Chain A
Amino acid sequence: MNADDPVIPVDPQDPAQRRRRNQQDGARGGKPFKFGQKGDVREVAVNVPPDEPPPWQFGDTHAVVGQRTPRVDAVAKVTGKARYAYDMNLPGMVWAAFVRCPHARAKVTAVDYSEAMKIPGVLVAKDYGSKDIRYALQHFGVVAAETHAACLEAVRAVKATFEVLPHAARMDQALAPDAPRVHSERPNKTGDDFRPEAVAAFEKAAQGCDAVVTGTATTEVQTHMCLEPHGVTARFEAPDRATVWASTQATFGARGEVARVLKVPEANVTVIAHYMGGGFGSKFSLGVAGAAACTLSKELGRPVKLMLERRAEHAQGGNRPSSVQEMSLGVKKDGTLAAYKVSKTGTGGIGGGAGAANPMIYDFGEVAEADFEVATNAGAAAAMRAPRHPQGSFALETIMNLAAEAIGMDPLELRRKNDKHPIRARQYVEGAKRFGWDKRTASGSGKGPIKKGMGVASSLWYALGGRGAQVLCRIRKDGSVEIRNGAQDIGVGTKTILAMVAAEELGIPLSRVTPFLGDTNDPIGPASGGSTTAPTIMPAARTAAFMAGRSLREIVAKTWDCGADDLALGGGKVIHLKDRSKSMTFEKACALMPGDEIAELGKRTGNYAAYEGQTGGVHFAEVEVDTEDGTIAVTRYLALQDAGTILNPLTAESQVNGAIVQGVSYALFEERILDRQLGQQVNADMEMYKIAGPKDMPRAEVILTEVVNGANNVGVAGLGEGPSVPVAAAIAGAVHNALGFPVWSLPMTPDRVLAAIAGKEKGK
């Protein structure tokens, strides 16, 4: 913590620390503000830093914030005017592509580039990267050419010979007794087994339970499938500058990487990401494509574009790890969860990073946990929208449903009983009413081949943002306003809410504010990860606008011979708070400024003591399972989701809708299928890698739960990940209710559903 910090920062991931600090903060004194939700408003003391406006508190009303506002760049996007990194075609630009190995494990023994170099327009064909191949489609060479066509022909013309080695591309192969080692220095399966004392405590607690339910949930690897693949268009500008148009979730991180790759000062590097075609957690680094493009640009003295082709995007672009979660849950008749044992195994490919957020949300009593990672000869995992959580949620919500059945309790009641989060506590009740939970029938009680069911699952996230952003607000003499930050809008509407916050603070219409994001020549901003972009940037934006507005008030105060604090901005005017006869339009006030502009830099300070450190959500799903052909139709969906202060309901709902789309897809369709022979992904395209389409969508409703969290002066919380957590779990719960038994494997494709039905009939 910085010594000059006026407020106590809260680590949002640590509720214990949060509670402690809440108390400390209260003890320190400070001005009390009202935070919370309907029916639970708490006074929390906050020392507001001198350059910050007072936090928005419960009961405040807003003019611009909270209005359903279309994206400011909507027209540019739908008309194709928006220019993505892939769209950048610069004068003299060269296309580049990697040369790849089709085998999951091999040594590249010889490469002949001579035929490739003979193709007209080919400039470079050479080794690039390791010759020790560890996963299929790993690159070992690179080609650059005048045209995309020549580039791809040159890749085909490269003649390589491989010493093909035994591989373990799939988890079942890596776990086989005679499996080849993926990493020579360690076994394929590593991790932490159960602690014996935890198992003993679990067993003791389980003995006191009325039922112990068991089950093993499995989830498959999901790839990110960004519509715009990983890559950049890079322009080295001799002798020591560079501009890179990158498809990135971290403009400033990428700038540092470009500087290191090219050995030039960071100050001389500009990274631009005005638009971004999907990242979902997979685009935090410059990546192999970006580094290669930068290097080639320096070497050739020309701009270079290198974007991964679709098959490589699946292999090299990252993925969500798989999981196998074996669970035992002990429950008492009154719904008390007393004993929980879970063993988790998964693969994050060659890079690791598997795991499942299980347990979470509910109080499970005595918990014994084991966690294993299996190394495989497959593309490395990357962070993906709520890493570890959708897997964990699917497994633990499924075992919860089983426990509820075992004691004859409604599954929603079991959740309410074991979840003390104040926001979810309200959402369970509101959601059940809105969704018609009382019409849910007993599990498996439906007649006829098509069975209906309802399910529920819960969400949490830790997204209140933190330090790491500065925002520049400029008021021009003509009354127009710029609001600038160098971080990226990854497609969620950040640019729009940035302008809305400035317009709100300055009391002017949105149309008068022009927002700028995605250029590292503007002030520092965060990487878009952990759902922190909005809660990190927006408080700084509000502070910047507040400071610029204060400077404007000071100018007007001189004219009116009063104090700046006697004046306020609102309704497009400067108003005298004590003398209502005095007012001046915003433009007239701006015309009074001595220079051409007011420019103020707002800084993000640490978080205040918040109402709640975690955001909450509760989701409901309704399905129809066709027990003849094994298909599942998600007919209705309701998501109740808290994201603090809702700056723009339209884009916030869109975020949740996006999570529902991706979650339906994860629940029912998406699966990386690796060929056990060569180890390649056989469905590495946009046809056989199945993604939910329009007809697969439920009728979805989003209810944004109003919570004034008080974590900072705006109080917005991140919404990227929380709603992604429970979607597959809620759908699986509905399927369980329809069939009368769970389908334990994602995706719930017809083959798996039919197998589950056949297995159940056999068991009878």
Chain B
Amino acid sequence: MKDFTYVLPKDAAEAARAAAAPNCALKGAGTDLVDRMKEGVTRPDTVVNLLTATDLRSPIREENGRIVMGGAITLAEVAESELIRKVAPGLADAAAEAATPQIRNRGTVAGNLCQRPRCWYFRNDTYACSKKGGETCYSIEGENKYHAIFENVTCNIVHPSNLAPILQVLGGTLHVVTAKGTDVVPSDIAVKDFWVRPEEDISRENILVAGQVIREVSFPIPRGTTGSSYVETREKASFDWALTSCAAALTLEGGKIASASVVLSSVAPTPLQLEAVEKWLVGKAPSDALFREAGTKATDGATPMRDNAYKITLTAVVVRRALSAAAARATGGGK
């Protein structure tokens, strides 16, 4: 690990100004960044520790029909928040499913959204993979059991964030501050517009640029007849990355699905909004058979590689389970 300048900003504005420095890395809990620095995959000249910025710690609260929280609110705080559990239990589930108690106690909401992919070729600095500026995606010919089954063209990473699909389902917004010279300008980014596909820019996974910091995250409080859920499959019960994951929100009216939002993750380089499945669901009565069919539809267009075809089965499973859980919450009025 090489020497770096360590910045301890007092607020988001200061953090954004510091983050404009060349070759700068933003650090939340550091659970991802420090790993990458140890592996030599990321070698920053400046590290900005966001945990000292007090406004990034603004509490989870209700504000003008939205739930708002600071970017450095921890996963444990989200998982345990009674407010979130009441209005969007799917988000609480997603936070609770992540990593370990230790990591959830430190890991932040913004950090979870911005963590780099877990691809074992990307994380090994002796592999000059295309994401790191090399010429090859080693997963194409190599070991790809955990890689993408959708949109796996140039770089076959899967998006690792638990919170990404559920915040997208909930119509979440990222409240960003951007350093422009000495000025700091606020702006909003919809979660669904946050992601960058490898074909657009292989070197990154989201649209944040130097000098930008996620100050807060918010989402509109779902209507009373909406249920939300997050479901994942994985190998281990303790501390494991999802093999497939799905977040869903269903609004029921008169025993029929009035609106649906379904986002898959862990199967493609970015979270995948299943628009065709959503349209197909609207107007139908929820049932196990319906959700089973939806699960199958969700796998349309999958392009598995040598070792990851099993993820197709697991995609259908998470979609069905997420829809069932969302419908049960919508029916129960318990969100």
What is the interface of chain A, defined by CB distance below 8 A to chain B?
A: 102, 149, 152-153, 156, 628-631, 633, 668-669, 673-678, 680, 682-683, 685, 687-688, 690, 692-696, 749-751, 754-755
Contacts and interface: CB of A to CB of B under 8 A. Distances in A.
Contacts of B120: 682-683, 688
Nearest to A693: B238
Given A152-B1, A673-B143, A693 B237 contact: yes
Contacts of B146: 688
Contacts of B143: 673-676, 682
Given A156-B40, A694-B238, A750 B314 contact: yes
Contacts of A692: 236, 238
B142 A676 contact: yes
B141 A676 contact: yes
Contacts of B310: 630, 750-751, 754-755
Contacts of A678: 126-127
Interface residues on B, range: 20 to 34
Contact of A696 (B100, B124, B236): B236
A307 to B, nearest CB: 14
Contacts of B239: 693
A690 B236 contact: yes
Nearest to B138: A677
Nearest to A748: B235
14 contacts: A153-B1, A153-B2, A630-B313, A633-B237, A673-B143, A676-B141, A676-B142, A678-B127, A688-B118, A693-B100, A694-B238, A750-B233, A750-B235, A754-B310
A629 B314 contact: yes
Contacts of A694: 238
A693 B235 CA distance: 11
Contacts of B317: 628-629
Contacts of B126: 102, 678, 680
Contacts of A696: 236-238
A631 B1 CA distance: 38
B142 A677 contact: yes
Nearest to B1: A149
B36 to A, nearest CB: 12
B63 interface: no
Contacts of A677: 138, 141-142
Contacts of A685: 123
A102 B40 CA distance: 14
Interface string B135-164: 000100111011000000000000000000
Contacts of B40: 156
Contacts of A673: 143, 145
B207 to A, nearest CB: 27
Contacts of A690: 235-236, 240
A622 to B, nearest CB: 16
Given A673-B143, A690-B240, A682 B118 contact: no
Best-surrounded residue of B118, B234, B235 (most CB of chain A within 10 A): B235
B133 to A, nearest CB: 17
Given A628-B317, A693-B236, A696-B238, A680 B124 contact: yes
Contact of A751 (B1, B124, B145): B145
A675 B238 contact: no
A749 B310 CA distance: 11
A631 B233 contact: yes
Contacts of A683: 120
Nearest to A747: B235
A515 to B, nearest CB: 34
Contacts of B314: 629-630, 750, 754
B121 interface: yes
B320 to A, nearest CB: 8
B243 interface: yes
Contacts of B233: 629, 631, 750
Contacts of A680: 124, 126-127
Closest 10 CB pairs of A and B: A693-B238, A695-B237, A102-B126, A751-B310, A682-B120, A695-B238, A629-B233, A696-B237, A628-B317, A754-B310
Contacts of B307: 751
A688 B144 CA distance: 13
Nearest to B237: A695
Contact of A675 (B2, B3, B123, B138): B138
Interface string B1-40: 1110000000000000000000000000000000000001
A750 B2 CA distance: 40
Contact of A687 (B3, B118, B141): B118
Interface in B243-258: 243
A655 B308 CA distance: 37
Contact of A682 (B121, B237, B313): B121
Contacts of B235: 631, 668-669, 690, 749-750
A748 to B, nearest CB: 10
Best-surrounded residue of A149, A669, A675, A695 (most CB of chain B within 10 A): A675
Nearest to A752: B310
Contacts of B240: 690
A308 to B, nearest CB: 14
Contact of A750 (B3, B241, B243): B243
Nearest to B314: A629
Contacts of B308: 751
Best-surrounded residue of A629, A673, A750 (most CB of chain B within 10 A): A629
A684 to B, nearest CB: 8
Contacts of A628: 317
B142 A675 contact: yes
Contacts of A688: 118, 120, 146
A156 B138 CA distance: 22
A630 B235 CA distance: 9
Contacts of A149: 1-3
Interface in B203-255: 233-241, 243
Contacts of B123: 685
A631 B321 CA distance: 15
A696 B239 CA distance: 10
Nearest to B99: A687
Best-surrounded residue of B100, B143, B240 (most CB of chain A within 10 A): B143
A683 B236 CA distance: 15
B319 to A, nearest CB: 12
A186 B333 CA distance: 71
A220 to B, nearest CB: 13
Contacts of A152: 1
Nearest to B231: A629
A691 to B, nearest CB: 8
B142 A682 contact: yes
A682 B120 CA distance: 6
A152 B3 CA distance: 12
A693 B317 CA distance: 24
A749 B235 CA distance: 6
A223 to B, nearest CB: 15
B226 to A, nearest CB: 26
A702 to B, nearest CB: 21
A408 B127 CA distance: 54
Contacts of A751: 145, 307-308, 310
A668 B236 CA distance: 8
A564 B167 CA distance: 82
Nearest to A102: B126
Given A152-B1, A153-B1, A629-B314, A669 B127 contact: no
Interface string B114-128: 000010110110110
Contacts of B234: 631
A749 B120 CA distance: 18
Interface in B159-176: none
Interface in B280-321: 307-308, 310, 313-314, 317
Interface string B90-120: 0000000000100000000000000000101
Interface string B54-77: 000000000000000000000000
A535 B95 CA distance: 49
A149 B2 CA distance: 7
Contacts of B118: 687-688
